[in-house]
Amino acid sequence: MLEFLAILAAVAVALLVVNFGAAERRVEQEISHLYPVDDPQFVRAMAMLLGPTIVEGNRVSELINGDRIFPAMLEAIRGAKKTVLFETFIYWSGQIGTEFADALSERARAGLKVHVLLDWVGSTKVDRELVRKMRHNGVEVRMFHPLRWYNLGRMNNRTHRKLLIVDGRIGFTGGVGIAPQWCGDAQDPDHWRDSHFRVEGPVVAQMQSVMLSNWSRTTGCVLHGQEYFPPLEPAGGMPAQMFHSSPANGSESMLMMMLLAITAAMRSIDIASAYFVPDDVALKSLRSAVERGVRVRVITPGPHTDQDTVRHASRGLWGPLLEAGVEMHEYQPTMFHCKMMIVDGLLTSVGSTNFDPRSFHLNDEANLNVYDAAFARRMTEVFEADLQKARRITFEDWKRRPAGEKVREKMSTWLKPIL
């Protein structure tokens, strides 16, 4: 009964939010399949039609789970010489929160320019003493879209981006927040499975630009100069672009980017998503891909999830996908918080974006697109290792789920606009 009342209350909130939101036209028609991912026209479309220029000469290294992610991020901060910029959705307490606060504070005391942007909703659990400590030591800490009586309409627009840029030369992006759940090595249900990425090369300037756009929106201050945008030499051989979206300047661009990639696929699509709630156009696009002979595999959270309503809403949509031949897999050991899409062993998109309406329409998001077969091959190996720890749900399994579960799924799908 309590769950039913909670869902009804959430529905009321959803209706309120939808009416607060800007009335903008969404992508309503399936994108036509015109060329494959390895066609130069696809690259031109991704660069000119949708996003920033694809730049050569980058190196992207994957970091799997907190035991590898956090030490790399902290090492970069502690080695900073001029600037540190950090934007994140979740910054809570615990030992890892203290370590980041101490590292950022030490660099600010050393005279560096250190800027931290925390989402006001995502970081409501932050230890206020850590914020006071950072500010006391010279770190400029600001909150993105704090609650104000005069701007209630923007309350549903959160920055979900995870960006760390050091000296304008080293960037990090991916799925992790600063909280105890992301520590460890996904060894039990208390320690989540996630990936993050260390980036060097010219695309880091695009990462810096994405972070600074929200900084200027929040503070009214434009940060620029060589300390933030130094000359960047090639660091590797990977073409890449930093793709971003925001309701303030084109919330549909992330969805269109992913739909264009799905539409171009000829062989394989692998999707890892912590929250997988595709809209009607995305559902059609995935089914059409299977009809073209594309193998489509999706990994989402299983029994361990921080968002039961999202899981119910997701499972309620699986019927047409499973019937078409899409492989659905639920990760079993712990919460699965990864966000990744690999298309035809060439394009890999990683970052903060989930495959759901909130990421596509409401949040500020940022994804790194890497056009490199070797990187895609490595990330496919990571995907398949996760697949070994996931349970495949067949169409017959889906049809046999209990009646009560079907009711919860039906009710949860009413919340799709804000999930």
Active site residues: 160, 162, 167, 337, 339, 344
Across the range 16-22, mean pLDDT stands at 44
**Buried/exposed 333-371: b ≥16 CB within 10 Å, e otherwise:** bbbbbbbbbbbbbbbbbbbbbbbbbbbbbbbbbbbbbbb
Name the pLDDT band for 48 (thresholds 50, 70, 90).
Answer: confident
| Structural domains of the chain in order of their starting residue, each with its CATH number | 2-418 (3.30.870.10)
What pLDDT is stored for residue 23 in this prediction? 42
pTM: 0.92
Cβ(306)–Cβ(182) under 8 Å? no
Cβ(67)–Cβ(193) under 8 Å? no
Residue 20 has pLDDT above 50, yes or no: no
Summarised one tens digit per residue, pLDDT across range 156-193 is: 789 999 999 999 999 999 999 999 999 999 999 999 99
Cα 355 to Cα 359: distance, rounded to the nearest angstrom = 7
Summarised one tens digit per residue, pLDDT across range 84-132 is: 999 999 999 899 999 999 999 999 999 999 999 999 999 999 999 999 9
> DSSP letter at 112?
-
Summarised one tens digit per residue, pLDDT across range 327-377 is: 999 999 999 999 999 999 999 999 999 999 999 989 999 999 999 999 999
Counting residues of the chain whose pLDDT is more than 90, the rounded percentage is 80
Cβ(178)–Cβ(189) under 8 Å? no
